[in-house]
Amino acid sequence: MPTFFASDFHLGTDARHTSAERERRIVAWLDRCAAEDADAIYLVGDLFEFWFEWRRAVPRGHVRFLGKLAELTDRGIPVYVFTGNHDMWMRDYLERETGVVLYREPVVHTIYGKKVLIGHGDGLGPGDHGYKRLKKLINAGWAKWLYARLHPNLAMQLALFISGKSRDSQPAEEKFLGPDQEWLIAYSERKLAENPRLAYCIFGHRHLPIDYTLSNGTSRYINLGEWLQAYSYLRMEPASAELLSFDVAAPARRRPHTSLNPGP
């Protein structure tokens, strides 16, 4: 009974495929997870390009994805959802309507007897101080209250415009920067020092599939990649954890990723 992890679907924006086409692929992947008798499914942030919950409204669309989440939880498959930097304003809609368990901060779960640290990854580790200040600001209660005063049509248009501009201004994320410049590796090393029993540190956000052995020689930092281009995910079993790439018409295949061991 494997456990599956994926992140960064960014539903609501087009990329290699349209958002609607990508949604169907995500649903097909979730069906495959269920067909393999998934022990649990972890969706580790940025499921949507933008998400906000008004008192009586939520963003339009994504009904196939949301319906599939409800179907999985109704079948008794635990689904854990983490907020990301694009959908940090989730409240309780997904929990109430689809039965998922929602997390807003990294957590440590015991999976197959091993300690696993899981989180989206935004604002963690050294650096990125501007974003950390911005995150604290937009997570303030008064900021959410003010934004909720906007009509949903205007609010969604504004958010998607800002999100697109932000994505266009970011440098390419296709290259591994090395352990000294990969902030989530630094964060994982710090958490490993605090809890030497951690076997895995699993994050999204980076948009690059990475499997990196940490300094103790056994624990692994794994970044899940994304579904805008790569369709990458992690399949974990008691004795293994492997990054794969999903193809609707083919069995799972190994996903090319950065796989490094630390130097002496």
pLDDT band at 35 (very low <50, low <70, confident <90, very high): very high
CA angle 225, 185, 43 (to 5 degrees): 35
In this prediction, residues 213-231 reach a mean pLDDT of: 95
**CA-to-CA dists, residue 181 to 19, 20, 102, 260, 262, angstroms:** 32, 35, 30, 14, 14
d(CA 157, CA 68): 26
Write out pLDDT tens, residues 139-188.
Answer: 778 877 887 788 888 888 887 877 776 665 454 567 877 888 889 999 99
Q: Is the pLDDT of residue 83 over 50?
A: yes
pTM for this model (two decimals): 0.88
In this prediction, residues 183-201 reach a mean pLDDT of: 95
Which CATH number covers residue 200? 3.60.21.10
Q: What pLDDT is attached to residue 169?
A: 47
Non-local CB neighbours of 96 within 8 Å, separated by 6+ positions = none
pLDDT band at 263 (very low <50, low <70, confident <90, very high): very low
Q: Which of 3, 14, 93, 99 is nearest to 51 (CA)?
A: 93
Full residue range of the structural domain in which residue 11 is found: 3-260
Question: Position of tokens 């990294």?
Answer: 106
How many structural domains compose the chain?
1
pLDDT band at 233 (very low <50, low <70, confident <90, very high): very high
Write out pLDDT tens, residues 46-58.
Answer: 999 988 888 888 8
Q: What pLDDT is attached to residue 214?
A: 96
Write the DSSP symbol of residue 179.
Answer: T
